[in-house]
């Protein structure tokens, strides 16, 4: 990934607690399902598209701006992709996973709920997403491979802009590796301990940048005429994740403990 984006993410993590209020940081993990959305219906006339399941893993940060308002920031590995099935070719199966680094920034509005002796919060959020395409892998089978090349299935790894590539690789020319999108979602916040929170998050992500440029092309190890991989599409899907975050305002905790000790001595 480009060093500028790593530096950008690091600066945000460092500056957020100094610019605003209470800061929570911790791991997050979840499941998701993505598929491409094409600009034209003609691009899907010969195929059927199904969501591709994947995972997301990373670090989440929440900064409380003021009461019931917060900023959510994440740096996460995310699996996107597609499952293609043939409309006229019953043998056609193309499954591909795209590995991304996602950096979303979400503006959050919280609502308090009291139930018996306990309390929790629910929230809605929205914001932009920066996604960087690292690499990917896939497998394809169709009648042409089976008939012309006597191959049941082709498994491959994705490479970018390589004029010569190996037999187990698929080369993508001129991809849009940096992609922008929008996140909209909501979830629940629980407080299992004094200095930590548990977040259950549900989110819709819709890309606004095509996976490929106008002159993009996908080259497979075998020359295929009956099937071409179209990149004039955006990634879109649903995410569900859980994050366990810890209060990072250590100085405030120590101040509170010191005050209590002084009061007890008096």
Quick check: 124 pLDDT over 80? Answer: yes
Segment 207-264, tens digit of pLDDT: 999 999 988 999 998 888 888 899 999 999 999 999 999 998 754 555 545 444 434 4
Tokens of 185: 């979602």
3-state secondary structure of 37: strand
For residue 12, count other CB atoms closer than 10 A to its CB.
17
Q: What pLDDT is stored for residue 264 in this prediction?
A: 46
Domain count within the chain? 1
88 or 75: which carries more pLDDT confidence?
75
Q: What is the mean pLDDT of the chain?
A: 87
Helices marked H in the chain:
3-19, 143-148, 250-265
Q: What pLDDT is stored for residue 232 in this prediction?
A: 92
Quick check: 21 pLDDT over 50? Answer: yes
Q: Measure the CA–CA gap between 184 and 186, rounded to whole angstroms.
A: 7
Q: What is the CA radius of gyration of the chain?
A: 23
Q: What pLDDT is stored for residue 248 in this prediction?
A: 86
Q: Measure the CA–CA gap between 233 and 41, rounded to whole angstroms.
A: 11
Q: What pLDDT is stored for residue 66 in this prediction?
A: 86
From the list 61, 69, 59, 58, the residue with the least C-alpha distance to 15 is: 61
Range of the domain at 179: 3-265
User: How much of the chain exceeds pLDDT 70, in percent?
Assistant: 85
> Could you tell me the CATH number of the domain that includes residue 92?
2.40.160.20
Q: Match 């019931």 to its residue by tokens.
A: 68
Q: Half-sphere exposure (CA, 13 Å, Cβ side) for 84?
A: 27
Average pLDDT over residues 55-68: 94
Which of 12-26, 186-200, 237-251: highest mean pLDDT?
186-200
Segment 85-120, tens digit of pLDDT: 999 899 999 999 999 999 999 999 999 998 766 789
From the list 61, 64, 60, 59, the residue with the least C-alpha distance to 110 is: 64
Strands, DSSP E only, in the chain? Answer: 23-38, 47-50, 52-66, 69-86, 93-115, 118-141, 154-160, 169-175, 178-193, 196-207, 212-219, 233-247
Average pLDDT over residues 74-86: 96
């Amino acid at each position: 990934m480009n060093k500028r984006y790593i530096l950008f993410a690091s600066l945000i993590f460092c500056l957020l607690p100094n610019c605003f209020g209470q800061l929570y940081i911790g791991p997050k993990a979840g499941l998701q399902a993505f598929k491409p959305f094409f600009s034209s219906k003609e691009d899907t006339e010969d195929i059927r598209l199904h969501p591709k399941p994947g995972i997301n893993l990373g670090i989440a940060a929440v900064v409380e701006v003021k009461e019931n308002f917060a900023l959510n920031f994440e740096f996460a590995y995310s699996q996107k992709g597609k499952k293609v099935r043939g409309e006229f070719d019953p043998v056609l199966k193309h499954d591909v996973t795209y590995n991304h680094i996602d950096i979303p920034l979400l503006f959050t509005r919280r609502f308090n709920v009291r139930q018996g002796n306990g309390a929790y919060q629910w929230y809605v959020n929205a914001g932009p997403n920066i996604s960087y395409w690292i690499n990917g892998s896939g497998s394809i089978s169709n009648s042409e491979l089976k008939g012309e090349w006597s191959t049941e299935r082709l498994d491959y790894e994705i490479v970018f802009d390589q004029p010569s590539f190996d037999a187990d690789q698929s080369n993508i020319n001129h991809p849009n590796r940096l992609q922008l999108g929008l996140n909209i979602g909501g979830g629940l916040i629980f407080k299992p301990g004094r200095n930590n929170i548990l977040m259950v998050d549900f989110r819709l992500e819709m890309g606004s940048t095509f996976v490929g440029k106008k002159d993009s092309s996908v080259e497979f190890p075998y020359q295929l005429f009956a099937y071409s991989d179209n990149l004039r599409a955006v990634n879109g899907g649903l995410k569900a994740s859980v994050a366990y975050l810890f209060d990072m305002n250590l100085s405030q905790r120590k101040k509170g403990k010191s005050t209590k000790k002084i009061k007890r001595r008096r």
